[in-house]
Amino acid sequence: MLDGLIIGFQTAMSMQNIMFVIFGCFVGTFIGMLPGLGPITAIALMIPITYGIDPSSGMILMAGVYYGAIFGGSTSSILINAPGVAGTVATSFDGYPMACKGQAGKALAIAAYASFSGGTIAAVFLLVAAPMLAKVSLSFQSPDYFALLLLGLTAIAAFSNKGSFLKSIMMTLFGLMLSTVGTDQASGVERFTFGQIDLLDGISFLLIAMSMFALSEALLSIISNNRDKKLGIASVTTEVGSLKLTRAEIKEMAPTVARSSVLGFFVGVLPGAGATIASFLAYGMERHLASAKEKLKFGKGSLRGLAAPETANNAACSGSFVPLLTLGIPGSGTTAVMLGALMSYGIEPGPRLFVDNPEVFWSVIVSMYIGNVVLLFINLPLIPYIAKALTLPKQLLTVLILFFSLIGVYLVSFNAFDIFMMAGFAVIAIGLRLLNFSMSPLILGFILGGMLEQNLRRSLTLYDGSISFLWDRPITLGILTLTALVLLMPVISTLRNGRSSTSQEKVAEI
């Protein structure tokens, strides 16, 4: 582990990579702050840039963007009560009331300190857990991978909002279906190309990510901006006031931060759970643990109510890297996009990553520490200035985001057909979003589709066409049992009450 850490520090601490982390944190904060645009969009916009640099620098940049976007989302949650990221919805419960009381600076400082603590504690866990899990997973074979991929695909649906389970399954299947377009790598047969030469190589992951996230989010922000204007909401506060915290306040929040870090990390590790669930669970836990008097403060500007979700969402971000780096299975939509990027660099994610590309594995872990430091010591003091981004003319920003998304994909393929496809997919994504379908399962299904098919094919070949591979190995059987349990839980719950809760639907829309 020590050797790995040294490799990680050597890679991550190079001047170029430090600059990438700083740049990533800034860009992430800026984009995450814009309501409607989340970390997936921020990362997707960065991918074309990362094609020109080495994979470890690319991953470092994207990790910085991820952290920055979550922090940026907290800023817009606190300042304008419009979370840019679903993972920061719980932040607005107590952050915005604090801003209304003229304590925006204090709320932002708490968010930054809590994020820093949560991120740092979780990065230590990651440092210990990831290599251990990676060593265990080295013994995995194709049937185990097939089972793991099934677990990853079902878990994201199982952890989706109540009542959205079937919708998430549909989106996962849609993503899997899209992944079959193009030439079948094993047999060389064309599938769903409809005679189009441009579809022979399949649909690029970047194109799907950009159109389903960046384009559709930017276009839908036009509708929400106009609606907000009509309703007269979202007045922007760029005067943040003092960022100082008292010793008593820090003492009050310390246990909350410790509890939420542990909770956030472990929720983040679960495939499909991620920052949103972690933040809500941490908020709920803290409220539950609070005294009757303290409980009354929740929702009106409670320090603990703000610190808990902020700590947990950042800890979950680190946690979600565990399945990504060790098993090659993303824990969230954001890490799914990162996985797609890794694959397009020609890197095989999974347990071999730890052995074959230790510099990528370790530099991502180390860059998380650096990212946290950057956010705390550079981003926080600059927040009053970065917050001015919220006052920039939206009409200019929206069109520029459209341009950068389109040209980002075009510069990889140099094929104008991709721009037409992006327009088509953006229309589909808008339709799906209006029907309250979540895009994360789709991207996960799309990215994992190829691996799922490959591993099923290999497993069947290994077992002479018999499906006994499903129960022959204890690991496979164990993972499949877990998958069945994960799958059955929401089915029972859906059959029992079925109806979706309004507040959770709101989260899904973000």
Partner 1 sequence: MKISKNVIGALIFFIFSVSYGYHAYQIPLYPGEEYDVFTSQTMPKLYALLGILVSVLAIIMSILNDSRTTNDTEKTVDDFDKKSWLQVASLIGLMVYYGATLEQFGFILSTISFLIFGFLILGERSKKRLFLASVPVVIVFWAIMTQLLGIYLSPGDLWG
Choose the binding region for partner 1 from 140-148, 221-229, 254-262, 307-315 (rule: CB under 8 A).
221-229
Q: Is residue 453 close enough to count as binding partner 1 by CB under 8 A?
A: yes
Q: How many CA atoms lie within 13 A of 91 on its CB side?
A: 36
- Going by C-beta distance under 8 Å and a sequence separation of 6 or more, which residues neighbour residue 447? 175, 179, 205, 330, 336, 337, 339, 340, 343
User: For partner 1, which is the closer residue by CB, 282 or 422?
Assistant: 422
Closest CA to 73 of 130, 15, 32, 121: 32
Tokens of 380: 């926080």
User: For partner 1, which is the closer residue by CB, 45 or 370?
Assistant: 45
The separation between the first and the last C-alpha atoms of the chain, rounded to the nearest angstrom, is 39
Q: Is residue 456 close enough to count as binding partner 1 by CB under 8 A?
A: yes
Q: Is residue 429 close enough to count as binding partner 1 by CB under 8 A?
A: no
Residue from 2, 3, 15, 52 binding partner 1 (CB under 8 A)? 52
Q: Is residue 222 close enough to count as binding partner 1 by CB under 8 A?
A: yes
User: For partner 1, which is the closer residue by CB, 124 or 166?
Assistant: 166
Q: How far, rounded to the nearest angstrom, does the alpha carbon of residue 483 sit from its chain's CA centroid?
A: 22
- Going by C-beta distance under 8 Å and a sequence separation of 6 or more, which residues neighbour residue 186? 454, 457
Whether the Cβ atoms of residue 199 and residue 182 lie closer than 8 Å to each other: yes
Whether the Cβ atoms of residue 286 and residue 259 lie closer than 8 Å to each other: yes
Q: Is residue 267 close enough to count as binding partner 1 by CB under 8 A?
A: no
Residue from 402, 475, 477, 482 binding partner 1 (CB under 8 A)? 402
Q: With b meaning 16 or more CB within 10 Å and e meaning fewer, what string describes 358-391?
A: bbbbbbbbbbbbbbbbbbbeebbeebbebbebbe
Residue from 195, 232, 346, 465 binding partner 1 (CB under 8 A)? 465
Q: Is residue 489 close enough to count as binding partner 1 by CB under 8 A?
A: no
Q: Is residue 177 close enough to count as binding partner 1 by CB under 8 A?
A: yes
User: For partner 1, which is the closer residue by CB, 61 or 278?
Assistant: 61
Q: Is residue 382 close enough to count as binding partner 1 by CB under 8 A?
A: no
Q: Is residue 496 close enough to count as binding partner 1 by CB under 8 A?
A: no
Q: Is residue 406 close enough to count as binding partner 1 by CB under 8 A?
A: yes
Site residue total, partner 1 (CB under 8 A): 68
- Quote the CA–CA distance of 205 and 270 in Å, as a whole number: 24
User: For partner 1, which is the closer residue by CB, 198 or 294?
Assistant: 198
Closest CA to 27 of 69, 71, 76: 69
Q: Is residue 191 close enough to count as binding partner 1 by CB under 8 A?
A: yes
Whether the Cβ atoms of residue 94 and residue 64 lie closer than 8 Å to each other: no
Q: Is residue 258 close enough to count as binding partner 1 by CB under 8 A?
A: no
Q: Which secondary-structure segment (H or E) carries 183?
A: strand 182-183
Residue 497 CB, nearest distance to partner 1 (Å)? 9
Closest CA to 181 of 198, 169, 199: 199
User: For partner 1, which is the closer residue by CB, 94 or 453?
Assistant: 453
Q: For the chain, give the longest Cα–Cα distance.
A: 69
- Quote the CA–CA distance of 248 and 256 in Å, as a whole number: 14
Q: Is residue 53 close enough to count as binding partner 1 by CB under 8 A?
A: no
User: For partner 1, which is the closer residue by CB, 252 or 505?
Assistant: 505
- Quote the CA–CA distance of 369 and 12 in Å, as a whole number: 10
Q: Is residue 470 close enough to count as binding partner 1 by CB under 8 A?
A: no
- Quote the CA–CA distance of 416 and 438 in Å, as a whole number: 28
Residue from 226, 242, 468, 481 binding partner 1 (CB under 8 A)? 226
Q: Is residue 400 close enough to count as binding partner 1 by CB under 8 A?
A: yes
Q: Is residue 154 close enough to count as binding partner 1 by CB under 8 A?
A: no
Partners of 191 in beta bridges: 182
CA distances to 122, 324, 493 from 262, rounded to whole Å, are 7, 19, 27
Q: Is residue 388 close enough to count as binding partner 1 by CB under 8 A?
A: no
Q: Which secondary-structure segment (H or E) carries 417?
A: helix 416-434
Residues 334-363 that bind partner 1 (CB under 8 A): none
Contact track, partner 1, 287-326, x by CB under 8 A: ----------------------------------------
Q: With b meaning 16 or more CB within 10 Å and e meaning fewer, what string describes 36-47?
A: bbbbbbbbbbbb
Residue from 416, 484, 485, 489 binding partner 1 (CB under 8 A)? 416
Q: Is residue 399 close enough to count as binding partner 1 by CB under 8 A?
A: yes
List residues binding partner 1 (CB under 8 A): 52, 166-167, 169-170, 173-174, 176-177, 180, 184, 186-187, 189-192, 215, 219-220, 222-223, 226-227, 230, 393-396, 398-400, 402-403, 406-407, 410-411, 414, 416-420, 422-423, 426-427, 430, 432, 434-437, 449, 452-453, 456-457, 460-461, 465, 494-495, 498-499, 502, 505
